[in-house]
């Protein structure tokens, strides 16, 4: 498999950037990215969360953030902040929660890059990037333009989800970006289990954690309640995932 050679750049003030990807929509990628950011902040790291899914921006709702973000005179943006996490998302820039974002690829790519570079992040140990599903233009732009220290893949247990995730794994491998591991979401009676384990074995990856399908989790997401702080089970799972990630590189 050919490797695409790039010359990605860092963002001043940000020590490490981690992307959270999934090849399949509805896999819970935003749920994983949000709760991972919350757990890392709880462990004492300075954390930012960027919602790169411009057309389906859900991080604000999931964290119970209602702040409207207003650009300064020099077009800089101060992120919202909650639970010690600095959050930037299109949801904070739209006039209404249900306002559609209807931008074509080149515009989405340009806006995405501007939001990452022009947000006033301050000094961060980690920036978590919640990627859009699949391989749209602005997702590829982030992977090409910014120096990501690693990728966390999110999948569901069923075989169809595993096939989509394999495509995403192949894309990241082509771009020569390290994959830090895989998170299996929605494990249980409805979607089954085992697909993530097969993916990790096939691609020589680490299974970072497996999250069960619970009605209580969906309810907390709908209400904007920080799930990881209101479930002992989830707190244990995300503590393990967070520790596994920071152990792979030194955050000073």
DSSP notation for 59-115: HHHHHT--PPP---TTS-BPPEEETTEEEE-GGGTSSSTT------HHHHHHHHHHH
The confidence score (pLDDT) of residue 228 equals: 94
Do strands 85-88 and 80-82 pair parallel, antiparallel, or not at all (unpaired)?
antiparallel
Between the ranges 74-78, 94-98, 203-207, 248-252, where is the mean pLDDT highest? Answer: 203-207
The confidence score (pLDDT) of residue 33 equals: 96
The confidence score (pLDDT) of residue 4 equals: 63
Q: 84-103: b or e for each residue (b if 16 or more CB lie within 10 Å)? A: ebbbbbbbbbbeeeeeebeb
The confidence score (pLDDT) of residue 188 equals: 79
The confidence score (pLDDT) of residue 97 equals: 60
Domains of the chain: 14-246 (3.40.50.300)
**Predicted confidence band of residue 70 (pLDDT cuts 50, 70, 90):** confident
Q: Assign residue 208 a region: left if phi > 0, alpha if psi is -120 to 50, beta otherwise?
A: alpha
The confidence score (pLDDT) of residue 237 equals: 96
Where does residue 140 rank: exposed (0-12), middle (13-18), buried (19+ CB within 10 A)?
middle
Does 61 have pLDDT greater than 70? yes
Number of residues that this document lists for the chain: 252
Residue with more model confidence, 54 or 228: 228
pTM: 0.91
**Predicted confidence band of residue 161 (pLDDT cuts 50, 70, 90):** confident
Does 131 have pLDDT greater than 70? yes
The confidence score (pLDDT) of residue 79 equals: 94
Question: Sign of the C-alpha dihedral, residues 83, 149, 244, 205?
Answer: positive
Q: Report the first-to-last Cα separation within the chain, whole angstroms.
A: 35
């Amino acid at each position: 498999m050919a490797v695409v050679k790039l010359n990605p750049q860092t963002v001043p003030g940000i020590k490490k950037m981690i992307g959270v990807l999934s090849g399949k929509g509805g896999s819970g990628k935003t749920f994983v990215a949000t709760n991972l950011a919350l757990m890392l902040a709880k462990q004492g790291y300075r954390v930012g969360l960027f919602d790169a899914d411009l057309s389906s921006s859900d991080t604000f709702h999931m964290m119970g953030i209602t702040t409207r973000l207003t650009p300064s005179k020099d077009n800089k943006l101060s992120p919202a902040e909650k639970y010690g996490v600095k959050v930037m998302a299109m949801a904070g820039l739209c006039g209404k929660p249900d306002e559609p974002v209807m931008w074509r690829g080149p515009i989405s790519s340009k806006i995405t890059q501007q939001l990452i570079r022009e947000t006033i992040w301050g000094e961060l140990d980690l920036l978590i990037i919640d990627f859009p599903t699949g391989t749209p233009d602005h997702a590829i732009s982030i992977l090409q333009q910014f120096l990501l220290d690693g990728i966390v893949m999110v999948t569901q247990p069923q075989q169809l989800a595993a096939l989509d995730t394999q495509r995403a794994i192949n894309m990241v491998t082509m771009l020569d970006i390290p994959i830090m591991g895989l998170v299996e979401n929605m494990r249980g009676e409805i979607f089954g289990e085992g697909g993530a384990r097969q993916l990790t074995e096939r691609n020589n990856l680490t299974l970072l954690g497996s999250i069960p399908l619970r009605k209580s989790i969906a309810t907390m997401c709908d209400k904007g309640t920080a799930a990881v702080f209101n479930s002992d089970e989830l707190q244990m799972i995300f503590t393990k995932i967070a520790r596994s990630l920071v152990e792979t590189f030194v955050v000073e």
